[in-house]
Amino acid sequence: MRLERILYTWWLKLKESTWVFTNELQRVFRDPGVMVIFVVATIAYPILYNCIYWKDNVENIPVAVVDLSCSPESRDFLHRWNACPDVTITHTCASMAEAERLLRDQKVHGIIYFPTDFAKALNSGLETAHISLYCDMSSFLYMKGIYLSCNKVMLESMNGIQIDRYEAMGMNEEFAWSLVQEAPYTETALFCPSGGYAAFLIPAVLMLILHQTLFFGICMLGGTAREENEELFRLPGARRASVLRIVIGRAAAYFVIYAALSAFALLLVPRLFGLPHIGNPLDIMRFTVPYLLSVIFFSMLVSTFIRNRESGIVLLISTSLIFLFIAGVSWPQEMLPKPWLWLSYTFPYTWGVHGFLHINSMGATLAGTAKEYIALWIMAAVYFVLTCGMMTLLGWWSEREGNNWRAKSSGMYE
């Protein structure tokens, strides 16, 4: 008899959790705005970002030349530079003023300047030859292509000049090369083979898209419930459900939706657009489990403070760039002030993006990123407890307000 009672109690708890789960799924699919954020944005944003950075290395960037030296050395340098795939010399100017007008009119995106004493300083062996390079900073890709190609040609020219000087001193070419390059090396790009912006940034943005769309959608649902005075603590029959089953049921609904969306964003999108993707897909999905749970519970905790539906978009806009910055993606974490660094550790995205990059782009195993994996499980547990605590307070406050209203109403009609 006691066993039957226990089984019946557990069956009721399971039934309540299932009702919360299905009810939350219905709330999501009945809300067009949340559906746009959860499904449309999570699918469209990865495709949109990859289309924007489809060609992440710009070629044939137009540049202008101001060559006051008019020497064989400057012409040889320009010939080598123009042979690089990144740049194309489209204008030869007589003065810097003319070149600056072209740069302001966006007809060129860079200027290289050779002073009159360039060849003299280069051939003297006692003076330093100077070259001035001006880049259009309105686009990072223009600056990157112009600067790197010029730097490469400059290093090759310096090596050639040193070898010529050593040969003039009576050394053979092989010995001269050994002096110029004592330790020959071969450059190999391991985790960003193309050296492009998309391969560097998009994998991190994919994790941010999952974080922010889930965060925004849950905050919208919380704000809608507050605006409509919707009672999320009651089951059919006006019975109050336990906070634990409410939190688990709602979290399960979000997790089911985003498990499929995560597989699309983290497994399919990198393959479709040729992004770095050398990790084990099973390890990626196993790592995604604590990441999604921590984001879900973090978002549910924040949603308890949301008073209206529009507040979520304010949080979305104000936090997206901050998350990307303090996570150490666009700026090294070592250069962040300590308070910002400690703050970044409280957000699931910081741990999630580093773990995902280790597995996806660097080929690490789940054991190789155990630090981030364990941290996400800890964050999921902490935010789960905090969410249950806040939901308990909200339920108590709702019950108290309801009793006060009933007491006032009864007093009015006495």
pLDDT 10s digits, 199-244? 778 888 999 999 999 998 998 888 887 777 665 555 444 445 578 8
Which stretches of the chain drop beneath a pLDDT of 70?
Answer: 1-13, 56, 125-126, 159, 161-168, 172-196, 229-241, 397-414
Specify the amino acid at residue 4: E
Joined tokens for residue 243: 């906070």
How far, rounded to the nearest angstrom, does the alpha carbon of residue 43 sit from its chain's CA centroid? 16
HEC-encoded secondary structure of the chain? CHHHHHHHHHHHHHHHHHHHHHHHHHHHHHCHHHHHHHHHHHHHHHHHHHHHCCCCCCCCEEEEEEECCCCHHHHHHHHHHHCCCCEEEEEEECCHHHHHHHHHCCCCCEEEEECCCHHHHHHHCCCCCCCEEEECCCCHHHHHHHHHHHHHHHHHHHHHHHHHHHHHCCCCHHHHHHHHCCCCCCCCCCCCCCCCHHHHHHHHHHHHHHHHHHHHHHHHHHHHHHHCCCCCCEECCCEECCHHHHHHHHHHHHHHHHHHHHHHHHHHHHHHCCCCCCCCHHHHHHHHHHHHHHHHHHHHHHHCCCCCCCHHHHHHHHHHHHHHHHCCCCCCHHHCCHHHHHHHCCCHHHHHHHHHHHHHCCCCCCHHHHHHHHHHHHHHHHHHHHHHHHHHHHHHHHHHHHHHHHHHHHHHCC
Specify the amino acid at residue 226: R
Residues 6+ apart with CB under 8 A from 23: 249
In sequence order, the β-bridge partners of residue 93 are 66
Q: What is the pLDDT of residue 4?
A: 60
How far, rounded to the nearest angstrom, does the alpha carbon of residue 188 sit from its chain's CA centroid? 24
Strands 234-235 and 239-240: antiparallel
Cβ atoms of 315 and 302 within 8 Å: the answer is yes
Joined tokens for residue 392: 């308990």
Tally of CB atoms within 10 A around 103: 19
410 vs 414: CA distance, rounded Å:
6
Count of all residues that appear for the chain in the document = 414
Specify the amino acid at residue 377: W
256 vs 265: CA distance, rounded Å:
15
The CATH superfamily assigned to 61-180 is abc type-2 transporter like domain (3.40.1710.10)
How far, rounded to the nearest angstrom, does the alpha carbon of residue 332 sit from its chain's CA centroid? 13
Q: What is the pLDDT of residue 405?
A: 38
Q: Residue 276: left (phi > 0), alpha (psi -120 to 50), or beta?
A: beta
Q: What is the pLDDT of residue 234?
A: 53
pTM tops 0.75, yes or no: yes
In sequence order, the β-bridge partners of residue 88 are 62
Q: Where in the chain is the domain with CATH 3.40.1710.10?
A: 61-180
Task: Summarize pLDDT for 147-188 with one digit per residue, the tens.
Answer: 888 888 887 777 676 666 666 677 766 666 666 665 566 666
Q: What is the pLDDT of residue 396?
A: 73
Joined tokens for residue 185: 């090396």
Q: What is the pLDDT of residue 325?
A: 82
Burial of 348 (C-beta count, 10 Å sphere; 0-12/13-18/19+): buried
